[in-house]
Structure 1
Amino acid sequence: MIMNLFSSFDPTSNLNLSLNWMGTLIGLLIIPPMFWLIPSRINMMWIKMTTILHQEFKILIGVHKSQGSTLMFISLFSIILFNNFIGLFPYIFTSTSHMVLTFSLALPLWLSFMLYGWINNTIHMLAHLVPQGTPPVLMPFMVCIESISNIIRPGTLAIRLSANMIAGHLLMTLLGNTGPFLSLWMINILIITQLLLLTLETAVSMIQSYVFAVLSTLYSSEVN
């Protein structure tokens, strides 16, 4: 039962090509009209949202260290938000529910931050392993704890995003499978419940993309 349930998240293959992953690139089709057509309300809303994100990320990174850095994190937020949101539509593959995508986003970011920090700010990175005010007796333990927490950061980023996306989809799948066995009165309640869950999943898709981008921004600010 569990194998069949989780198999709904497996990408299907046609002619030895995993065509479901092509849905990740559908967002590229939306970009050209946004710049060449007359700005619509959706376009103005998106520009307003990215401007707010730019101001917030600039504060997190540092005003004097954010030259062009916020563009990378806004792009990261945009691609995760699009893939989270498009996965809510029927028969569309949710790529962010797979560790292949989320870990591929988190690991290069974390690795680049670590390489930059240890090469350019070695003393700062070593000082960051021991929080200020730590007693000398606890310093070796704090170094181990901080090192472990630093190493597992890409894993926590990837697991947090994929787990939150797959949890709601699994719950909606479980409730939807009970539909043929329910009475007409219970089906009405089930439909209302599914609509509420869909609304919750829409909020989760936005919140998780924001959390991923903000945590990546905070991790980058620590190495400067």
Structure 2
Amino acid sequence: MNFVGTFDGDNHTISNLKITNTSTYSGLFGKTSGTLKNFTLKGNITLSADSDMIGGVVGYADGSTISNVTSYVNISNTEGTLKHIGGVVGGIDNKNTVVDKCVYYGTLNISNSHDCIGGIVGYTNAGARISNCANHGTVTTSEAGAYTGGILGYVNNSNPTIKDCYNFGTVSNGDSTQSYIEQDESNISTGEAVSVCVVISSLLLIISVLVIYFCTKNGKRNSIHSSE
């Protein structure tokens, strides 16, 4: 069922979310084209079968607005293959979707999966509009070459926009590599990709001012282009 209204949490906390044995479009909201704002969410999603579009707050955001939301939702699996997993949003397929002022503090601990795992958003196609977001959580999978990112797991379009975002958390895959945003380099055009973003870890501090294009593939950096 698609939620099309407005959910305003009025800065309250929703606790004890528990989801198990789901297949697709799962989170506090499975699918929405509405507005979700102003709340904190805590809980656990534990899966034991193949699943797609799983997010702590919403599994699939379709032209919706998610703003001022903090997620402490932990997502893990005991069996099956998961794809498009996000601490806040699992997947986006609509360029009008906006994710703003969202923070993730939980743990994504995904096994047997390599497809699109991100602290804020797992996957976006046809446009990501992510701004003022931060990941303080852990994003990890045991699969080598997995697409993992502190803010966004994978971009599959030519004009993503990610502005004023921060990654403070640990991000890794089976190669023991980590990245702020991981994507297929062939999908990046000359549009604005990442603007004024910061990656902070125990080993690395990158401050990107103006416009930065950060492309990685299979856990390895391929290129960094910045305007001067």
Q: TM-score range by the shorter chain?
A: under 0.3
- TM-score, length of structure 1 as denominator length: 0.20
- Structure 1 or 2, whichever has the larger Rg, is 1
- TM-score, length of structure 2 as denominator length: 0.20
Structure of higher RCO (CA pairs closer than 8 Å, 6+ residues apart):
1
Structure with the bigger percentage of helix: 1
Structure with the bigger percentage of strand: 2
